Amino acid sequence: MYDTRPFQVPKRTIMTPGPVEVDPRVLQAMSSSILGQFDPKFTSLMNDTMELLRHLLQTNNQWAFPIDGTSRAGIEAMICSVIEEGDTVLVPSFGRFGSLLIEICERCGANVYSIECEWGQVFDPEIIINKIKKLRPKVVAMVHGDTSTGRMQPLKEIGYACRENDSLLIVDAVATVAGTDVKTDEWYIDGLITGTQKCLSVPSGMAPITYNERIEAILSKRKSIEKGLVTDINSTRDVSRRIRSNYFDLSQLQDYWSPARLNHHTEATSMLYGLYEGVRLILEEGLEKRFERHRLNERALVAGIEAMGLSLFGDNSCKLPTVTCINIPEGIDGDSVRSMLLDDFSIEIASSFGPLHGKIWRIGTMGYSCQKSNVLHTLACLEAVLLRHGAKLNVGEGCQAALDVYKNLEKTQIST
Ligand SMILES: *Cc1c(COP(=O)(O)O)cnc(C)c1O
C-alpha cells in the first residue's frame, strides 16, 4: 500500500543560510501556466531577466543569465567552460565552499594551487596578491561570502591584482548577492556566480551568472578550435580542447540566450517566472534599501544573541552580514537544541560542517526571511529552548536588546 494523500507543508520560520523563505508573489508567479521556450512572450521574458540581472549584479556585461540547476551548477558551468586541462588555478579558501571550488577545478584537470586560512578568518589581500604575482595563474577562483564559517573576503584589491597580472577572477557570490554589496565591474570580477535560494529568496534551482568579454574570448576560442576554424592548429577539427560538459557548455548556453536562440536544453520556464519576479522585487525594493534592511536585522540579531550571554564565532571584522555564527555553549547539545526549535517552535536554524559541526550554530538573515518578526521570534524561542536545556542565560535580555536596536534605527525609517 502507498499513501495518496496530498503532502501537507508545515508552516516554518526558516533562519538558515539557505534555502530561505520565499515571497508569496514569487510562489504565485511560479504557478503561472507554461510557455514554450521559443514563444516570443517567453524569449522576451528571457531578455528582460538578463536586463534585471545586469542591475542586480552591478555589471555592464552583455552576458548575465541563469544556469538551470542549483548554485553549484553555475559554478561548474563557469569553471568547466573556462578551465582546460593543465591550466594553473589559484584557489584561496577560507571555508567549505572554497574546498568545493578546489574540487571542481581539479575535476576539470587544472593544476590547482590552494592556500587556506584558519576557519573564522579571511585572507590579508596582500598574501593573495603576492601569490598571484609569483604564480601568474590563468584563473583565481574564490568565494566572496563563505556560509560555512560566516566570513566575507574583500575582493576589490584582489580583483585589481588579477587584472594587472592577466589572471581571471571567478567568484562564488552565492551567499552575498542581494544581501550585501557585490560590485562585479568595480571589483574587476571576470566571472561571477550566484544562486536563487539565498538572498534572492527564490526557490533553489537556478544559478544566475555573469561574465565579461575576457571570458567570452576563451569560450569563442575553444569553440572555434573544436569546429576547426582556427588555423594555428593546422585548421583541422580538434575536439581535445572542447568543453567537457554539454549541459554546462557556456558557449552553447550563450547561443541559446543570444538572439540566435540556438536550441540547447529545455528551459525551466516556471523557475524563470520565479527568478524574474524575485529579482524584480529586489530592484523594486532597491539594492541600497535591501542591504540596509539586511544590516539592521543582522545588528538586532547579534545584539540579542550577545545580550542573552552567548558569544559569536569568528573574526568580527570580516563577518558575513547575512550569516551569524554562534558558539554552542559548553555542555549543550547543539543538535538537540536545533531539533527542539524545529519540532516545538517550527523554526529552522543550521549547524555547520566538518571541524565546526557541534561547535557552532548558524543563523541566516537572508532575503524574505530577513525580517524583524523572524529575528525577534527566533531570539525568544532560542532562549526558551536553551533554558530547557539547562543553559545559563541573561533571561529576558536578548529580545530587549534586539528591540532597542529596532527602536533606535526605526527612527531613521529603515523598513524592516
Ligand atoms: C549555499 C552555497 C552554495 C551552494 O550551492 P548549491 O548547489 O545551491 O547547494 C555555494 N556556495 C556558497 C558560498 C554557498 O553559500
Choice from 14, 75, 147, 199 to test ligand 1 binding pocket (greatest atom count within 8 A of CB): 147
Q: Is the dihedral of CA 376, 382, 388, 393 positive or negative?
A: negative
Name the residue at shortest CA distance from atom 2 of ligand 1.
Answer: 174
Beta carbons within 10 angstroms of residue 49's beta carbon: 22
Q: What angle do CA 242, 189, 113 make, to 5 degrees?
A: 65
State the Cα–Cα distance between residues 327 and 350, nearest whole angstrom. 12
pLDDT means per 10 residues, the chain with 416 residues, are 95 98 98 97 98 98 98 98 97 98 98 97 98 98 98 98 98 98 98 98 98 97 84 67 94 97 96 98 98 98 98 98 98 98 98 94 98 98 98 98 92 64
pTM: 0.96
Beta carbons within 10 angstroms of residue 309's beta carbon: 16
In one letter, which amino acid is 345? F
Residue 157 Cα to ligand 1 middle (Å): 24
Regarding the beta carbon of 93 and ligand 1, being less than 6 Å apart is answered no
Regarding the beta carbon of 18 and ligand 1, being less than 6 Å apart is answered yes
Regarding the beta carbon of 146 and ligand 1, being less than 6 Å apart is answered yes
CATH ID of 287-415, from 3.90.1150.10, 3.20.20.70, 3.40.50.300, 2.40.170.20: 3.90.1150.10
> How much is the pLDDT for 132?
98
Which of these, 373, 368, 292, 366, lies nearest to 322 by C-alpha position?
Answer: 366
Name the residue with cell 586541462: 85
Regarding the beta carbon of 193 and ligand 1, being less than 6 Å apart is answered no
Counted residue by residue, the chain has a size of 416
Which H or E element spans position 63?
Answer: strand 63-68
> How much is the pLDDT for 415?
64
Regarding the beta carbon of 72 and ligand 1, being less than 6 Å apart is answered yes
Name the residue at shortest CA distance from atom 6 of ligand 1.
Answer: 71
> How much is the pLDDT for 235?
60
Residue 218 Cα to ligand 1 middle (Å): 25
Contact 351, 361 (CB under 8 A): yes
Query: Domain 22-282 - what CATH class?
Result: alpha beta
Q: Which ligand 1 atom sits nearest the alpha carbon of residue 146?
A: 13
State the Cα–Cα distance between residues 250 and 261, nearest whole angstrom. 14
Residue 71 Cα to ligand 1 middle (Å): 5
Domain ranges of the chain: 22-282, 287-415
Peptide bond into 24 cis (omega under 30): no
CA dihedral 170, 171, 172, 178 (to 10 degrees): -140
Residue 307 Cα to ligand 1 middle (Å): 31
In sequence order, the 6+-apart residues with CB closer than 8 A to the CB of 286 are none
Contact 160, 126 (CB under 8 A): no
Regarding the beta carbon of 196 and ligand 1, being less than 6 Å apart is answered no
